[in-house]
Copies of this chain bind each other. A is one copy, B any other.
Amino acid sequence: MTNQPAAIGTSARRHDAAAKVTGGARYTTDVRLPGMLHAKVLRSPHAHARLRSIDATRARALAGVHAVLTREELAGLSPTYGYFVKDQPVVAMDKVRYVGDVVAAVAAEDEAVALRALELIDVVYEPLPDVPDVTAALAEDAPELFEEAPPGIVPPYGTGASGHLRPRRNVCYEFRYATGPADVWQECDHVFEDTFAFSRMNHFHLEPFVTVADVRGEQIEIWSSTQNPFPLRKELARVLRVDENRIRVHVPYVGGGFGAKHNCKTEPIAILLSRMAGRPVRYCLTTEEGFLTLSQHAAVLKVKTGVKADGTFVARESEVLLDAGAYSDGSPLVAEKAAYRMPGPYRWTHVKSSCACVMTTTTPAGPFRGFGATQSTWASESQVDMIARRLGMDPYELRIKNLKRLGEPFVPGESGIDSDLAEGLDTVAGELGYHRRARTPNRGMGLAIGFKDGGGVNKPAQARVKVTANGAVYVNSGTVEIGQGASTTLCQVAAEVLGVPLEQVAYAPINTDVTPFDQGTNASSGMTVMGRAVLRAAEAVRAQVLEFAARQLGCEATALTLENWAVRRGDEAPIPLPGLIMKVFGGTGYEFSGEGFFKAPNSPEAPLDAPCVFWEIGWAGAEVEVDPDTGKVTVLQLVASGDVGKAINKLVCRGQDEGAAVMGLGQALFEEMRYDGSALLNGEALDYRVPMAEDLPERFVSVTQEQGHGPGPFGAKGAGEGAMVPVAAAIANAVHDATGVRVTALPLSPERVFNALHRH
C-alpha cells in the first residue's frame, strides 16, 4: 500500500455509473422469465369491514387466468406477517382494515386480463366503523381493528426492559424510557409545553414494489426489490412453512427504498401465485398502489421542557403518538427510536419519553429514512428555537450552551457522542452566513441539528472478499446497491486493504444461497457495520496472501508488503503474485477467500440492548423568504451537512447528503399524504407533490464533514439519513425568524403558513 494511490478518500467513479446512465442496469422491474405471468390484486373499497364471503369462480373461469389467490388458499400456511407483530395477512382473512387492503390476487397472461379477472371476483363486505386517526383510535368506544391479539406477537429485539407491549385498545406497541431524577422539575425556572404535528410522507421510491417469483418443484426463486434479502427469506420461510434454503432471493439493483422495502411486500403473493400456476409470476405495483402499501408515520408529539433562567436545559418529557396505520409493519421499532431520540443532542438531568403505535384504518406505516428521528427532531428542534425566543436568547447560542461534548455519553450505558456537535453547527452557521445576517422584512434564518443513533441495533454483518490468482477481487456482501453507492464504497475498502486499483474490485450480485448473511440495508449501516465486516474480510485475505508468499519466499510475512498484486521485501523488486500462485496451485489457479464478521457488542446497561454503532448527526441551516400575502415559503439558502467521519468516497457522501436534504425539503414544504377520514386524497404521482429540480433553493450547499471520529473503516461513519432529519425544523425556525410566527405542523404549505400569519 505504499506506492499504490489510495483507493479511499477519492471521488472515484461509481461502479454502477456506466450501467445506470446508459440504461443497462438491471432492476427487478426488468426481470423477464419465459412463460411469465402477471399479477394484479383486488383491493378493499372499505376502510374497515368484515369479509362475509368471497367467490372467485367467475374469475378463475376467465380465459388467460392461471391462478386466483384468496383466503382459502392460505390454509396450511402461517398467513400473517410483520416485522415484529405478525398481524398483516397475505390476503384479507376475516376483515379488511383500510382502503386498499389486499383481498385477492390473480395471475394471468397479462395485466389487462388480470385486471378484468379482478372485476369478476364477488366479495360481500359488512362495513364497520372506521378509525381514521390516532384520536379516534384511542377513544374509549373506538372500534377495535384487531378483536384478538394478532398471532405471533413477539417483543422487539432483545430483552428490551424499557420497551413493552401493552394491550391497549388499538395500540400495537408502546415504548417508555426514563433516566435521571424526576424531581429536577422543581429546579427549573421555566417549563415549556408544546405540541407538534408531523405529516405522513410517501416513500416515493422510483422503482415500485416488485417481485418476480418462479416456483419449480420445491425450489422457490425470487427476484425482489428489497432492502433486506436475508430477513425477507426468513419471514417468507415462516409464512410458507418451508426451510429457508428452499427460498432463493436474488436482489438486482434496487431503485430506491427509503425504508419501505423491508419484510414481505409483493413477495408472498408472487410466490403463491407462481406455485399455483406452475409458471413464473411478476407482481409489480403501480405508483398509486405504493401509496396503499406503506408510508411514513404521521405523529403527534407533546414535548415538555424545563430550563434554568440562563437557558441551561434540565429536564424533558415527551409523549409521542405514531399513526401506525392498519398493520404494525416496522412500527414498534420506529416507536422506540422516536421516543429514545427525543432528548436530541443536548445535556439533560432528567429525561422521560414514551411513544405508542396507534392503529388506524389508513395505509400501514413503517420504516422511513430517519426512522423516528425525523419526527423527534421536528419537535425537539422546533421547541429549542421557541424556547430561545421565549428566553430572549439566540437559538444558536442556546444550542451551543447545551450541546453535549465529543465523547459525552447520550444516556447511561449508551455510546458517547462521536461528533463535535458545536463544530458542526459552526460549519453550517458559517456557510449560511448566520452570524452576519442583516434583518430584512419577511426574511429569516434557522438552524437545526438532526440526531439519531445509526447503524442499527443488534445487527450482525458477514462479508467475504475473494481474489483470483490474477488479483481480480470480489466483494461478496448482502448490502443492497439501492442507489447509495455501497457497491462502490465497499469495494474501495477492499481495494485499499489489498493495495489494488479500485477498477480491479467487483461487487457481486446478491443471492441468498451464496452471499454471506446480512441483516439488511438500513440504518445507514453500510459502512459502519458491513464496511467493518468487509474490512476484516479483506484483512483476512491480505494476511493469507502474505503468509502464502512468505512461505514461498522463505521469509516472514511481516517482512513483506502487498502492492498491485505483487509482494515486495524491503526495497527489493516486487515479485508478481500470479506466478507464485500458479507455481503452487497449477492448473487454472486458486482463489484466496477471507470472511469478515462484525457486530456491535451487546450491553445489558444499554437502554436498547446494545450501545449504538455511531451517532448520525445532521446539521441544517436555512434562509427563507415568506410571502405574507400568500404564505408561500421560498428557501433562499439551504445548507445541509452530515459528519461522515471519513469520506470513503467524497462524491458518494455528497450525493447522499444532497438527496437527504432534498427529501427533507419535500417534507418541510410539500409532501403529505392527505386523508378525508380514512380516504386518501392524493395517492398518485400527479397529486402528491415531491420536490422537483425547480424547487431547489437558489443556494443549495451540502458540506461533508470529516471529523474523523467514526467507528467504521478508516474513521468512517454512516451517511444517508443525517442530512434529511433537521431540514424541516431548520426551515420552520427560519420561517419563525422571518415572521415571528411559529408553525408547529408540517408541511409548511402556503395555506398553513398563511393561516398562521393571519391568526397571529
Residues on A facing B (Cβ under 8 Å): 18-19, 22, 24-26, 30, 32-34, 157-158, 216-219, 228, 230-231, 234, 237, 243-246, 248, 456-460, 462, 464, 466, 468, 470, 472-474, 476, 503-506, 508-509, 511, 513-517, 519-520, 584-591, 593, 595, 599, 602, 609
- Picked from B30, B458, B517, the residue with its CB within 8 Å of the CB of A591 is B517
Closest to A503 in B: B243
In the complex, chain B residues whose CB is within 8 Å of the CB of A25? 216
Contacts of A458 in B (CB 8 A): 585-587
Residue on B with the closest CB to A157?
B586
Query: Contacts A26-B216, A231-B587, A231-B588 known; A508 to B514 CB distance under 8 Å?
Result: yes
Q: A18-B218, A468-B244, A514-B511 are in contact. Are A460 and B585 (CB under 8 A)?
A: yes
Least CB distance from A238 to B in Å reads 9
Q: Are A588 and B519 in contact (CB under 8 A)?
A: yes
Which of B30, B457, B460, B506 is within 8 Å of A245, CB to CB?
B506
Question: Taking the nearest CB of chain B, how far is it from the CB of A28, in angstroms?
Answer: 13
B517 and A246 form a contact (CB under 8 A):
no
How many chain copies?
2
The answer to whether A472 touches B217, judged by C-beta atoms less than 8 angstroms apart, is no
CB pair A245 B519 closer than 8 Å? no
On whether the beta carbons of A24 and B216 are closer than 8 Å, the reply is: yes
Q: A216-B24, A216-B26 are in contact. Are A516 and B474 (CB under 8 A)?
A: no
Q: How far is it, in angstroms, between the C-alpha of A515 and the C-alpha of B464 when the chains are bound?
A: 11
With A18-B218, A243-B470, A508-B511 known, 4 other A-B pairs at CB within 8 A are A32-B34, A245-B468, A245-B474, A516-B593
A509 contacts B506, CB within 8 Å? no
A614 to B29, CA, bound (A): 49
Q: Which of B219, B234, B585, B588 contacts A588 (CB 8 A)?
A: B234
Inter-subunit contact A243/B504 (CB<8 Å): yes
List 11 A–B pairs whose Cβ atoms lie within 8 Å, in order of A's numbering. Answer: A25-B216, A228-B588, A231-B588, A244-B470, A456-B587, A462-B591, A462-B593, A466-B516, A509-B513, A517-B589, A520-B588
Question: Once bound together, how far apart are the Cα atoms of A32 and B509, in whole Å?
Answer: 19
- Residues of B within 8 Å of A219, CB to CB, are 19
Bound together, the chains give a CA A91 to CA B204 distance in angstroms of 50
Q: Are B517 and A513 touching (Cβ within 8 A)?
A: no
Find out whether the CB atom of B474 lies under 8 angstroms from the CB atom of A513.
yes
**A217's closest neighbor in chain B, by CB?**
B18
Report how far A503 CA is from B242 CA in the complex, Å: 11
A19 engages B217 (CB within 8 Å): yes
9 nearest A-B residue pairs (beta carbon): A458-B586, A508-B513, A24-B216, A517-B591, A245-B506, A18-B217, A245-B472, A231-B588, A514-B514
A476 to B219, CA, bound (A): 16
Which of B216, B464, B519 is close to A587, meaning CB atoms less than 8 Å apart?
A: B519
Write the nearest CB–CB distance from A29 to chain B, whole angstroms.
Answer: 11
Q: A26-B216, A237-B470 are in contact. Are A590 and B460 (CB under 8 A)?
A: yes
Q: What CA separation (Å) do A614 and B588 show in the bound complex?
A: 21
Q: Which residues of B contact A24 (CB under 8 A)?
A: 216-217
A278 to chain B: closest residue by CB: B24
In the complex the two chains form, is A506's CB within 8 Å of B246's CB? yes
A40 to chain B, nearest CB (A): 21
Cβ of A587 and Cβ of B157 under 8 Å apart? yes
Most B CB contacts (10 A, CB to CB) among A219, A230, A587 go to A587
Please name all residues of chain B whose beta carbon is closer than 8 Å to the beta carbon of A245 when the two chains form the complex.
Answer: 468, 472-474, 504-506
The answer to whether B586 and A514 have CB atoms under 8 Å apart is: no
B514 with A474: CB separation less than 8 A: yes
Question: How far does the alpha carbon of A157 sit from the alpha carbon of B587 in the complex, in Å?
Answer: 6
Contact A587:B505 (CB < 8 A) given known A19-B216, A217-B24: no
User: Which residues of chain B come closer than 8 Å to A506, judged between CB atoms?
Assistant: 243, 245-246, 513
Could you say which residues of chain B place their CB within 8 Å of the CB of A595? 593, 595
Inter-chain contact B511/A244, CB cutoff 8 Å: no
CB contact between A217 and one of B22, B32, B504, B587 (< 8 Å): that residue: B22
**A586 vs B32: C-alpha distance in the bound complex, in angstroms?**
36
Write the nearest CB–CB distance from A453 to chain B, whole angstroms.
15
Using known A-B contacts A30-B34, A243-B472, A245-B473, determine if residue A587 contacts B459 with beta carbons closer than 8 Å.
yes
> Which of B34, B517, B591 interacts with A516 by CB under 8 Å?
B591
What is the CB-to-nearest-CB distance from A481 to chain B, in angstroms, rounded to a whole number?
Answer: 13
Distance (Å) between the CB of A101 and the closest chain B CB? 26
List of B residues within 8 angstroms of A473 by Cβ: 245
Are B472 and A244 closer than 8 Å at their CB atoms? yes
- For the complex, what is the distance from the CA of A245 to the CA of B502, rounded to whole Å? 12
Question: Which residues of B lie under 8 Å from residue A466 when comparing CB positions?
Answer: 516-517
Contact of A509 among B456, B511, B591 (CB under 8 A): B511
Return A512 CB to nearest CB of chain B, in Å. Answer: 9
- Cα A591 to Cα B519 with chains together (Å): 11
The distance in angstroms between the C-alpha atoms of A224 and B567, with both chains bound, is 35
Shortest beta-carbon distance, A478 to chain B, in Å?
Answer: 10
Task: Determine the distance from Cα of A26 to Cα of B473 in the docked complex, in whole angstroms.
Answer: 29
Tell me, rounded to whole Å, the shortest Cβ–Cβ distance linking A709 to chain B: 26
Cα distance A476–B513 in the bound complex, in angstroms: 8
A218–B34 Cα distance when bound, in Å, is 26
Task: Write out the residue numbers on chain B whose beta carbons fall within 8 Å of the beta carbon of A216.
Answer: 19, 22, 24-26
CB proximity of A299 to chain B, nearest CB, Å = 25
Q: How far is the CB of A390 from chain B (nearest CB, A)?
A: 43
